[in-house]
Chains A and B, each alone.
Chain A
Amino acid sequence: MRSLVDSSIELRPRLGPTILASLWPIVVGIAFAVAMQLFVKPNINDYFAKQLLDIGISIVLAVSLTMVNGFTGQFSMGHAGFMAAGGYAAGAVCYYVSLRIWGTGGARGSILSGMPLDPSGLPSFAVGDLLFLGSLLVGGLVSALLGFLVGLPSLRLRGDYLAIVTLGFGEIVRVLIQQTEPVIKTAAEAAQTPVLELPIHVGGALGFTGLPKYTSLFWAYLVAAITIIVAFRLKRSTFGRAFLSIREDEIASEVMGVNTTRFKVWAFVIAAFFAGVAGGLFAHTLGVGLSAEAAGFMKSFDVIIMVVLGGLGSISGATAAAIVFTLLPEVLRDPLATPAWIVVAILGVWASLSGLAAWRSREGGAERPWVMKLALKLLIPGACVVAIYLAGKNGIDLSPYRMIFFALLLILMMIFRPEGLLGVREIWEREAWSWLIGGRRKAVAASPPQGGGS
């Protein structure tokens, strides 16, 4: 039987090795990140570069949140809280270590951090970069610890209640950050302050200023690549199926032998770790003022929208949604000056995939004529693109209406595609795609046989 071969069950190793096994995707990820910094960055303007950087960070946030909200079906609304906590922790380490060792909070990175080559001939992966990497890890770990603490109540709470707890968590982080002490500006002062007291000098209501700006396209896309790889490894393994089964039916999952408690906490911890690292990236970005507002609900809400639009549990969906959602405000403001083509390309790919699906199912006896379906699917994104283009051409700034736009998008989505762009599946698991690839994958798209043995 054909189906037996490709659905045979893989080994079930432990969680750690599952995430780390097989290095080549990581190598590809690193190469991609290096290429972004060394080959893409020099050929684009600073504005576009900043957009790409924000996209990278958004991808990390969205893909990590989909591990909780999508894989296990817990509804966390405090992702920005983890991000801010990680950002402040990473910032505190990076800034105060710099101040103590080098006497200044400035960055000492390499070309990978977007710095010019050091005249003293430091190797391209400089000490500052190592410090930054360490800080990101600290940020991630602090956040993961918080994730563990927040994940614990999730054992008893579900649905709305968990959402409220995580919402409260974000607010607690925000308020706590506001209560912190002013940043210490000079090396002399920093030297006099006891080390354990340094982490509370992170700026309070004024924000954490003066952080070294290490974050570059390299770092953003390195982390994004790792997040995506980890998410895929989790989803593709038996663990992934276990995660998804919790979301589908917790009791049934438990009697299959899944330790649901452990998995739910793990999901929280892993997601919080990456949110914390994303926070570290955010904190060290040029032109970003790290403040308590980073932990605010609006930020969490942004990430939730990405995850819901992309399809809860779909990694490629979350990635695509993160790209579109990050670019959209800029595109609405001035489509002609922005990398609007990325949004257009994504909308285009999606539209043609659904178009293909509609075309293919034309014999399938659809309830509506296939031409109409196809037209609808191509028309809506097409109309959006044209409208935005025209507005831009006439100098109309649509960005004040961005929230209205998102709200409409969400409402339409909930009506027509409540499961998000892709549901829990990935882009290439969509029917039209598998049809394009053809061959072996065709079976996925084939309609179920009727009748059968009885």
Chain B
Amino acid sequence: MAGADPQTPPMLEVRGLDVHYGAIQALHDLSLSVKKGQIVTLIGCNGAGKTTTLRAISGIVRPSGGGVFYEGASITAAPPYRLVRMGIAHSPEGRGIFSNLSVSENLDLGAYARSDHDEIARDRERSLTLFPRVRERLKQNAGTLSGGEQQMLAIARALMARPRLLLLDEPSLGLAPQIVQTIFKIIREINERGTTILLVEQNAHMALKVAHYAYVLEVGRIAMADEAAVLEKSDAVRKAYLGVG
């Protein structure tokens, strides 16, 4: 698909990122890039720094060194609420559902930064077509959805921003295998409709299946990077992340 041309600069580029939480350094000189049109996944163990990477990209934490570039421009110091206007949507770890608001209001907030009403209505319809279960529950308080439904809502809400780049933090967390399948199918569908995706996952198996390119993060450093299909077959990854002997 797109992004195969080596000449075009990547859509998102992270260069030499350092992030500290107080005295703890969570990311060390981390670099990665995401090509337009691709699904790139970032896998790693608990505490490897995956969430921190996404937070640094969307400006929730400030890096102490290095930079983040989006479509050629630096967004290193940009506050999070700006990024969504530049086409980056972030579905945060733990879903970040607004529990006491209705499902419908949650979706509306996804489009908070936009004002093109007709298009918003269209995107709403599109998201709801992707997630029929969300449509059935529009009037319900979002906090009363099941875990899987909340995750669907979180993704649907992120889509309401009509992002060009979608940051997903562990969309499969705590979901039954069948729902995980559904979610990953939808992730691929979203990508096929032209949205670039940076996917953080614990479920390396599924992530590597759906992604074009993958990075393996180990204690704040990139340990491996390659085409997802290649990594999936590499012994090191199979041993450490896919639980294969």
Contact = CB atoms under 8 A, between A and B. Distances in A.
Interface of A: 1, 3-4, 7-9, 11-12, 238, 241-242, 244-245, 248-249, 251-260, 423-424, 443-444, 446, 448-449, 452-454
Contacts of A448: 136-137, 139-140, 144
A-B residue pairs, 7 tightest by C-beta: A252-B96, A257-B113, A248-B98, A257-B84, A453-B132, A255-B90, A254-B80
Given A1-B125, A7-B138, A238-B112, 10 more contacts: A3-B104, A241-B112, A249-B97, A252-B97, A253-B109, A255-B60, A256-B81, A256-B110, A257-B85, A448-B136
B25 interface: no
A9 B136 contact: no
B92 A454 contact: no
8 contacts: A7-B108, A9-B117, A241-B105, A244-B101, A248-B98, A255-B96, A256-B161, A453-B136
Contacts of A244: 98, 100-101, 105
Contacts of B144: 448
Contact of B81 (A238, A258, A443): A258
Contacts of A257: 81, 84-85, 112-113, 161
Interface string B106-125: 00111111010100110011
B124 A4 contact: yes
Given A255-B96, A448-B137, A241 B108 contact: yes
A265 to B, nearest CB: 14
A242 B96 contact: no
A382 B121 CA distance: 48
B121 A245 contact: no
A12 B60 CA distance: 25
Given A4-B124, A452-B133, A454-B133, A256 B99 contact: no
B182 interface: yes
Given A248-B101, A452-B132, A11 B92 contact: no
Interface string B78-104: 011101110001101001111111001
Contacts of A3: 104, 135, 138-139
Given A255-B89, A257-B81, A9 B108 contact: yes
Per DSSP, chain A at the interface is: loop
A360 B153 CA distance: 30
A361 to B, nearest CB: 16
B81 A4 contact: no
- Of A12, A248, A423, A444, the most chain B CB neighbours within 10 A belong to A248
Residue in B100, B110, B128 with the greatest tally of chain A CB atoms within 10 Å:
B100
Nearest to A450: B136
Nearest to A453: B132
Contacts of A251: 60, 80, 92, 96
B146 to A, nearest CB: 11
Contacts of B7: none
Contacts of A242: 109, 112
Nearest to B60: A251
Interface residues of B, number: 47
Contacts of B79: 254, 259
A259 B82 CA distance: 8
A9 B89 contact: no
B140 to A, nearest CB: 5
B178 interface: yes
Contacts of B52: none
B133 A252 contact: no
A260 B81 contact: yes
Given A255-B80, A257-B113, A8 B121 contact: yes
Nearest to A248: B98
Interface centre among A3, A242, A259 (most CB of B within 10 A): A3
A238 B108 contact: yes
A258 to B, nearest CB: 6
A452 B182 CA distance: 14
A228 B96 CA distance: 30
Contacts of B133: 452-454
B58 interface: yes
Nearest to B83: A255
A255 B51 CA distance: 14
Contacts of A423: 100
A256 B84 contact: yes
Nearest to B125: A4
Contacts of A454: 133, 178-179, 182
A449 B58 contact: no
The winner among A1, A8, A255, A443 for most chain B CB atoms within 10 A is A255
A241 B109 contact: yes
Interface in B34-61: 58, 60
Nearest to A261: B79
A104 B100 CA distance: 54
